[in-house]
Amino acid sequence: MPAFLKFPDDASVVVTGAGSGIGRSTARICAEAGLRVALWDLVPESVESLSEELTHTGATLFVAKVDVLDEADIAAGFTATQHAFGHIDYLVNNAGPANATAVTFAEGLLMAAGSVANVTTAWLALGRREGDAVVNVSSVAGNITGAGAEPWYPSAKAAIAGFTRYLALRRPGGIRANAVAPGLIDTPRMVAYMDSDAAKSMIARNPMGRAGRPDDVGATICFLLSPAASYINGVVLPVDGGAQATE
């Protein structure tokens, strides 16, 4: 474990949507940092492969198939994870639909932002203690750009940012709450889009001259969870290579 992160011994984290992209990178980086990691995903095969990848690290992992839209499934997931790990110190709300998912506005808000609220509420109900932390995955689309193939997407991501600040102000159980706002990230979900003229234009305008990588976001999330970030609370941190600075 990197010494500066200062994670307690036997600390644990739940990562939703851990099977691919940002969630997968976050889970791997947290495991490499010494955390016990619960890999939650709707497709268990995707997290099973990650679990196999990480066996060489000696990481302690727990795999659960959880539908973050189903409150009973969420409760069962936490019960099983608690049985495996005991106290669950940290939570990463990463699961959510792709921005081009064709659903109604209300459905999109529920799938993307409502699921974050439901999972967080269930985690809080388990009992919190000072030092516990949650990081939610928002988007630059919810901050200033308003980007997204469907109107629900920037709206839901803005709702996630607002929910994060709400938690940060009230600090139930002494927790910290932060969010990351990724820009264009080269994930498996974005493979087709990365070859589009729109993506190439975004990369050309970006001060870093490239798209982000899942590890760029995963490492940021791991830091925000850690005691090294103990005075960071209520932040929605862009991980976008400076894209927002160009707006």
Residues 6+ away with beta carbon under 8 Å from 30: 13, 15, 37, 90, 92, 218, 221, 222, 225
What are the two backbone dihedrals, phi and then psi, of residue 100, each rounded to the nearest 5 degrees? -100, 5
In order of 22, 100, 176, 185, 219, the CA distances from 239 in angstroms are 12, 21, 19, 9, 10
Dihedral angle of Cα 80, 85, 88, 94, to the nearest 10 degrees: -60
Cβ neighbours around 146 below 10 Å, total: 14
Residues 6+ away with beta carbon under 8 Å from 195: none
What are the two backbone dihedrals, phi and then psi, of residue 155, each rounded to the nearest 5 degrees? -65, -45
For this structure, is 193 an active site residue?
no
Rounded to 5°, angle at Cα 53 from 52 and 54: 90
In order of 18, 33, 238, the CA distances from 212 in angstroms are 18, 21, 11
Q: Which of 90, 153, 166, 193 is catalytic?
A: 153
Beta bridge partners of 179: 136, 236
Amino acid at 170: R
Which active-site residues does the annotation give? 153
